[in-house]
Structure 1
Amino acid sequence: MLAGTKAQHRAALLAARRTVPHEVRAAEALALCAHLDEFVAPDDTVCAYLPVGTEPGSLQVVDRLHDVCARVLLPVTRTGADGEPVALLWSVYVPGELVAARYGLLEPAGPVMASSALGDADLVLVPALAVDRRGVRLGRGGGFYDRSLPLRQPSAKLVAVVRDSELVDELPSEPHDIRMTHVLTPKHGLCALANTE
């Protein structure tokens, strides 16, 4: 296992991402788009996300999903009365109909569906700072996906989207972590993970 806490890994991975030139990130996003046809089916419902900052991907990835599958759902973030994150809500992606939201996110402008809408997804693309070969995902630590992923259907593919260098041998894990079934990287496309839960 890599030495260090989750917080230390997050800091190091975020710092490394900030050094990646814009041109490289743009090329990686195009490569991710090119892989989508390999594993997204026309009748799929896909829960995706719009990347923030240096996260892999782009609006082009979401637009391509919109072209190749039946329905794309994007997350809508909310917190409870105590200020703590709650399970993500979802809304159907319509190109050109996004609004600014908290955390620097863009969210669909249309009606919001319950958290349980995640259970309709055949495929869930999940933002990650890194993922290991066992499916352990390191997120940003906000807790939104930790609260949301238990609502998935058992057959859904859970796909961490990372840069090629962010697929690592082993990350620290906790009992509540939901393991990813697959990873999507610009160079290698979709790869199954060991997922030895």
Structure 2
Amino acid sequence: MTDDVSHDKRALRAELRERRRICTAKERNDSEVGITANLIELATRTGSTSVAAYLSTTDEPQTRGFLHWASEHNITVLLPISRADGLLDWAPYDGEEENSDLIGMPAPTSEVLGPIAINDVDLIIVPAASVDRSGMRMGWGRGYFDKTLGSMEAKPPVYAVIFDNEYVDVVPTEVHDQPVNGIVTPTGIVTITEHN
């Protein structure tokens, strides 16, 4: 069973990577405008004063416009840095230099705060390959966000940022996969489950 799910995930991730890779510059620009506006709306609607987010890669829906806005509006933003043990350290967003972490993801160069820093945020924004109608999130296969979310005793609302066509009926899931409360896409915000 698990081998079938792993195979299904690999196949779906390959298809989604290719779709993202062939996006045109205009599609990327249009999606960035929508993602930024919708992330701002989500943060405003939730009254967030501190957010855990991430620096997007070239092929991902872009988060930097939102990160700049949050910083200008005195919202504390923490960004992840991958660790060798599979956990995430967190560092404040300062809008300055970026580096690459040990798995090649964009990371801040500010002071590292450690894994428990995320416990103080009131909104979490995560990357995803796809999310289904029940809120199950499929990541890119490294498990960093699943481990982080799975280890938190109390979680604030968690929203995944994806392109519109990545919100699907069902994604293959395994026992360690963590759901999200909703999604942010270029065309809107969908709350799937209310935060408990």
Looking at secondary structure, tell me which structure has more helix per residue. 2
Q: Structure 2 vs 1, CA of residues 103 and 8 (structure 1 numbering), >3 Å: closer, same or farther?
A: same
1:88 and 2:93 correspond: no
Distance 1:69 1:158 in 2: 20
Q: State the Cα distance separating 1:9 from its structure 2 match.
A: 0.6
Corresponding residue of 1:6: 9
Q: Deviations over 1:3-34 (max 9, x none)?
A: 97111110111111111112211221111111
Amino acid at match of 1:40: A
* Corresponding residue to 1:68 among 70, 73, 89: 73
Corresponding residue of 2:120: 120
* TM-score normalised by L of structure 2: 0.87
Q: Which runs of 5+ in 2 are unaligned?
A: none
Corresponding residue of 1:19: 22
**SS state of the match for residue 116, structure 1?**
helix
Q: Structure 2 vs 1, CA of residues 16 and 58 (structure 1 numbering), >3 Å: closer, same or farther?
A: same
* TM-score normalised by L of structure 1: 0.86
* Corresponding residue to 1:53 among 54, 58, 65: 58
1:182 and 2:187 correspond: no
Q: Which moved more, 1:132-141 or 1:33-42?
A: 33-42
Distance 1:194 1:115 in 2: 25
Is this contact kept in 2: 1:128–1:138, CA < 8 A? yes
RMSD: 2.0
Q: State the Cα distance separating 1:36 from its structure 2 match.
A: 2.8
Corresponding residue of 1:145: 145
Distance 2:75 2:183 in 1: 22
**SS state of the match for residue 16, structure 1?**
helix
Distance 1:7 1:72 in 2: 31
Is this contact kept in 2: 1:52–1:105, CA < 8 A? yes
Q: Structure 2 vs 1, CA of residues 134 and 103 (structure 1 numbering), >3 Å: closer, same or farther?
A: same
Amino acid at match of 1:8: A
Corresponding residue of 1:83: none
